[in-house]
Chain A
Amino acid sequence: MSGARSDVLDAAPADRGGLRARRGEALFRALSVLIVVVEAAVMGALVWVLLGSRTVGAPPHSLLQDALVAAVTATASLLAVATATLAVLRSAGAGREGRDGRAEGGWSRAWERVLDGLDPCPAGPIDDEARSALLALSESVTGARLRRATAAVRQTGTDAVLTGRLDAVRGARRGRTARRSFAWRGRSTAATLDVLDDLARARLPEALPALLMLVRDRKVQTRLHAVRAAARTISRIDDDGDRSARSRDLLECIGGSGLARGALDETLVLLGRAAPPFVRAVLTDRNSSPPLLASSLDAVARLRLSRLGPLVVSHLDDRAPLDVRAAALRALGSLPGLPAGSDEPLRRALADPVDVVRAQASRAARLLPPSEGLAALNDLLADPSWWVRRAAAEALAAAGPIGRAALRDATRTHPDRFARQMAAQVLADRALETPSDAGGRAIA
């Protein structure tokens, strides 16, 4: 596991409950609605009496005072009801949550023994605490323990419970009417997000059809949770053919989902080993949206999918959207060598009128023949854009001993003052960040 873990995950399962749905949410919602209704009524009555008395001309101050007394009484009653209910709720809820937390902690220890093969898997059905502990534990295990965890999800009926809940929230959402109250909408959203979270942990292939439908849901939070759950589920499918087919299904749903670029990036990361065929399908589909193309091209770079290099070339076209071109250039820069037909688009990008394109192209310039690439980067050191100058200097610094030698030369001989300064700056930065790698005299 990465060293940068959330301390929430390091804590016992009981402590992780702090970020989950809290008991009493529904009642709190109901109380809020009651407060709004009652206060609107008493304040409205008060204002009506006040303004009405002005209109009539008679000063029925006693009537105004009666209205005020009614308002005070109503508010005091609300406060008493709210305080008592909430106090009982918090005490009972805290107590219940404490018991649930301890139960979940106990189940975590029991599941550890099951996953280690020391104890048999308990027969289903199991309660929510046991289910939550099992799903949480399955996130952090691999190999044989993961296989046992997956088997335990089936044997305990957790899969049936979760898919049943998913069907229930989908059914409730389909049955929504225009007159549903705000509180009910909130509850449905909350319930949907809860079950999607559990499915993201459980990774049940049979839930995929329903998850994919929710990727097109009208609520953005639901779409985000659903696509995350779907991507995680697909990544866990063992059969290559099935995994590829499911990732194509996801691609079809994502196309019209309107998900943000960050969410698409997240999806591609979460797809894991299912990402390469997904990316291939996106890059070969002429109808792919620009955000999806850009995310997929960045995935080529991030996942080092060098065999998809030839597919990157077609997105270097000058007519491609700016984000897509920039991502394609980033992808190109990550490849070990220039794919056929990419050298001319790269040369054009190095001279592009848009600075973002030039900056990205500079990172790929190292792939050109050495003399040409070095010369191009040396020229870009004097680019009018600070970002391009910085990118060119960093590209030279990352281009091995030859590049760093060229950068050192630039600090002394480049005709442009800003180029000399940028070259010196990048060399100094590298001297601090990678002392063993630095060349020349660091300014420190």
Chain B
Amino acid sequence: MNVLSSVLRGFEALVLVYFAILTLVYALSALVGLRTIVVAAREPEPLALRDVVDRHYAKPVSILVPAYNEEDGIVGMVGSLLALHYRRFEVIVAVDGATDATLARLVDAFAMVESPTIYRRSVGTRPVHRVFRCRDHPNLLVLDKVNGGRADAVNAALNLARHPLVCVVDADSLLNPQALARASRLFAEDDTMIAVGGSLQPLNGAVVEDGAVVGMVAPRRWVERIQVLEYARSFFVTRAAWSRVGSLMIISGAFGLFRRDAVVECGGWTPGLVADDMEMVVKLHRRFRELGQAYRIGFTPDPMCWTEVPSRVRDLRAQRCMWERGILEVLWRHRGMAGNRRYGRIGLVGIPYLWLFETGATVVEALGYVLVVVSAAAGLLDLRFALLFFALAVLFGTLFSELGMTAQALLVSRPRGARDRFDLFVAAFAEYLGIRQLLVFSRLVALFQVRSRRGRYWRPSPPRPPAAETLPLPVAEARGG
């Protein structure tokens, strides 16, 4: 019993110290990332955006869209891309061996014709069967290829890309019409920029008019509200901070702008990985540091892209398990960078942080819950201490969520109404009443499934048709607005 007591006390100390460090890191992130937010709230402003859109100096962009079984939304999505406010760009859709009517719908909707195309295979991919072009939209190409996964599809599109910048978007995302203009400005302003990420926001609860998000209301389901908070914390605090210190290690696969030559230098996206988007950024850091070339990976917290997030707990679990496996896959793949001075801040701070406070947080938190149960069973639990610690974690988590939401509010044109803010505030507490614990244990299990489920993607369950009462309200009728 003394041994058990010592072990428990020791772990208690470990968890406390761990929590204290993590709390400080998050708090500092809010402050460090704030400057990114402040500058982004002014740059680009309408004047500079218009100069980008209307004038000729902006770099042309190739938009790469990997598509697999997206028959329902692919035509609308491609149509919205073709309507982007940008002077020169092309859209390359890589249909990755889809088994539904994705290709047929594209060919029909855009009157595409098969056009044998000679292109430079900068990156090896699975075979490409056919290439289609469109007379009405000469900047639209669709390629039909053997299924090889998302990364392989992006690489195939990359091989056909003609422009110096490539933008990777998901087929189920809704892009901000000004996304290209805003993101490409960062390349114009810094010759060393090789990649730019933008913030991703949940489409759940967003009010969409004519293909653009014009407002946000709190989603009806608690699991969606919790994710709204998570995304706000992640993009408007954490990533803004990491970008500020030059150690951004992930650019969301739903929207990222890259210099084509930099991506080709790294051999394109790595097939067979769940987190190929994160792996590309880590690879860029690694390659350019090995080359000794000055580079920068930027981030703009401006809302660039909206994506549907899981609306059911089981889907959320599956997604987070996938992400957990993905992070560990990437970290393991690049384990040589950890603690390696050759890789500068990435090797000495960024990668160790991911090991200790992303992957490690899952382990520590899960063990914490387990040991509470063990302590209680052994009669060693100090209930007051446990409750106080839990209260501290909940309070700080809520505070952090509040900071994220406010940072977001500094950037959007229509801030949330009072009722929405209250709902989200309550959700910040509700997150700790079961969902968080469920996700922690699921993610812990996922860590042991990295090998057995290697490269296995999760796709969301088909959404249920919404009942009339669950449709988001138009902005004018938004509660508390």
Residues of A within 8 A of B (CB): 1-2, 4-9, 15-22, 24-25, 28-29, 32-33, 35-36, 39-40, 43-44, 46-47, 50-51, 54, 59, 61, 64-65, 68-69, 71-72, 75-76, 78-79, 82-83, 86-87, 90-91, 93-94, 136, 139, 182, 185-186, 189-190, 193-194, 197, 200-201, 220-221, 224-225, 228, 260-263, 265-266, 268-270, 291, 302, 386-387, 421-422, 424-425, 428-429, 432-433, 435, 443-444
Tell me the smallest distance from the CB of A104 to a CB of chain B, in Å. Answer: 13
Scoring B residues 109 to 121 as 1 if CB is less than 8 Å from chain A, else 0, what string do you get? 0000111111010
The verdict on B452 contacting chain A, using a C-beta distance below 8 Å, is no
By the criterion CB–CB under 8 Å, are A189 and B418 in contact? no
The verdict on B433 contacting chain A, using a C-beta distance below 8 Å, is no
The verdict on B264 contacting chain A, using a C-beta distance below 8 Å, is no
Those of B36-95 within 8 Å (CB) of chain A: 38-39, 41-51, 53-57, 59, 85-87
List B contacts of A18 (CB < 8 A).
412-414
Pick from A5, A32, A82, A83: contact of B53, CB under 8 Å: A5
Interface stretch (choices B319-327, B334-342, B383-391): B383-391
Q: With A5-B54, A94-B415, A193-B39 as given contacts, are A65 and B115 in contact (CB-CB < 8 Å)?
A: no
Interface stretch (choices B217-225, B268-276, B277-285, B403-411): B403-411
The verdict on B365 contacting chain A, using a C-beta distance below 8 Å, is no
List A contacts of B13 (CB < 8 A).
50-51, 54
List A contacts of B147 (CB < 8 A).
none
Interface stretch (choices B148-156, B186-194, B439-447): B186-194
By the criterion CB–CB under 8 Å, are A75 and B57 in contact? no
By the criterion CB–CB under 8 Å, are A269 and B385 in contact? no
Q: A371–B416 Cα gap in the complex (Å)?
A: 68
Sample of 29 A–B contacts (CB below 8 Å): A18-B413, A21-B41, A22-B409, A28-B410, A32-B30, A32-B403, A35-B399, A39-B23, A39-B396, A40-B24, A40-B27, A43-B23, A44-B20, A47-B20, A50-B16, A54-B13, A75-B392, A76-B391, A82-B399, A90-B409, A90-B418, A189-B39, A197-B45, A260-B191, A262-B188, A265-B188, A425-B116, A428-B116, A432-B115
The verdict on B301 contacting chain A, using a C-beta distance below 8 Å, is no
| Minimal Cβ-Cβ distance residue in A for B135 | A432
By the criterion CB–CB under 8 Å, are B115 and A32 in contact? no
The verdict on B212 contacting chain A, using a C-beta distance below 8 Å, is yes
By the criterion CB–CB under 8 Å, are B384 and A65 in contact? yes
Closest 8 CB pairs of A and B: A18-B413, A262-B188, A43-B20, A265-B57, A386-B120, A425-B118, A75-B395, A260-B191
Q: With A6-B53, A265-B57 as given contacts, are A193 and B395 in contact (CB-CB < 8 Å)?
A: no
Q: With A194-B42, A444-B113 as given contacts, are A35 and B85 in contact (CB-CB < 8 Å)?
A: no
The verdict on B425 contacting chain A, using a C-beta distance below 8 Å, is yes
By the criterion CB–CB under 8 Å, are B28 and A86 in contact? no
The verdict on B172 contacting chain A, using a C-beta distance below 8 Å, is no
Tell me the smallest distance from the CB of A256 to a CB of chain B, in Å. Answer: 16
List A contacts of B27 (CB < 8 A).
35-36, 39-40
List B contacts of A224 (CB < 8 A).
43, 189
| Minimal Cβ-Cβ distance residue in A for B302 | A19
| Minimal Cβ-Cβ distance residue in B for A258 | B191
By the criterion CB–CB under 8 Å, are A43 and B24 in contact? yes
List B contacts of A260 (CB < 8 A).
188-191
Q: A269–B58 Cα gap in the complex (Å)?
A: 11
Q: A206–B54 Cα gap in the complex (Å)?
A: 27
By the criterion CB–CB under 8 Å, are A83 and B30 in contact? no
Tell me the smallest distance from the CB of A170 to a CB of chain B, in Å. Answer: 18
By the criterion CB–CB under 8 Å, are A444 and B177 in contact? no
The verdict on B35 contacting chain A, using a C-beta distance below 8 Å, is yes
By the criterion CB–CB under 8 Å, are B53 and A266 in contact? no
Q: A104–B189 Cα gap in the complex (Å)?
A: 31
Q: A341–B240 Cα gap in the complex (Å)?
A: 53
Tell me the smallest distance from the CB of B32 to a CB of chain A, in Å. Answer: 8
By the criterion CB–CB under 8 Å, are B191 and A221 in contact? no
List B contacts of A72 (CB < 8 A).
388, 391-392, 395
List A contacts of B9 (CB < 8 A).
59
The verdict on B300 contacting chain A, using a C-beta distance below 8 Å, is no
Pick from A17, A59, A189, A432: contact of B413, CB under 8 Å: A17
Q: A225–B23 Cα gap in the complex (Å)?
A: 36
By the criterion CB–CB under 8 Å, are B51 and A197 in contact? no
Tell me the smallest distance from the CB of A403 to a CB of chain B, in Å. Answer: 19
List B contacts of A291 (CB < 8 A).
191
| Minimal Cβ-Cβ distance residue in B for A433 | B138
List A contacts of B398 (CB < 8 A).
79
Q: A269–B56 Cα gap in the complex (Å)?
A: 8
The verdict on B421 contacting chain A, using a C-beta distance below 8 Å, is yes
List B contacts of A265 (CB < 8 A).
57, 188
| Minimal Cβ-Cβ distance residue in A for B481 | A94
The verdict on B17 contacting chain A, using a C-beta distance below 8 Å, is yes
The verdict on B178 contacting chain A, using a C-beta distance below 8 Å, is yes
List A contacts of B28 (CB < 8 A).
36
List A contacts of B48 (CB < 8 A).
228
| Minimal Cβ-Cβ distance residue in B for A2 | B54
List B contacts of A17 (CB < 8 A).
413
By the criterion CB–CB under 8 Å, are A36 and B56 in contact? no
List B contacts of A302 (CB < 8 A).
56-57
List A contacts of B113 (CB < 8 A).
432, 444
Pick from A4, A22, A94: contact of B85, CB under 8 Å: A4
By the criterion CB–CB under 8 Å, are A79 and B395 in contact? yes
| Minimal Cβ-Cβ distance residue in A for B400 | A35
Tell me the smallest distance from the CB of A317 to a CB of chain B, in Å. Answer: 23
Tell me the smallest distance from the CB of A280 to a CB of chain B, in Å. Answer: 19
List B contacts of A9 (CB < 8 A).
46, 50
Pick from A87, A182, A193: contact of B43, CB under 8 Å: A193
Q: With A87-B421, A200-B47 as given contacts, are A28 and B406 in contact (CB-CB < 8 Å)?
A: yes
By the criterion CB–CB under 8 Å, are A422 and B41 in contact? no
Q: A428–B141 Cα gap in the complex (Å)?
A: 14
Q: With A22-B410, A68-B388, A444-B114 as given contacts, are A186 and B138 in contact (CB-CB < 8 Å)?
A: no
By the criterion CB–CB under 8 Å, are B45 and A19 in contact? yes
By the criterion CB–CB under 8 Å, are B54 and A428 in contact? no
The verdict on B373 contacting chain A, using a C-beta distance below 8 Å, is no
Q: A432–B116 Cα gap in the complex (Å)?
A: 12
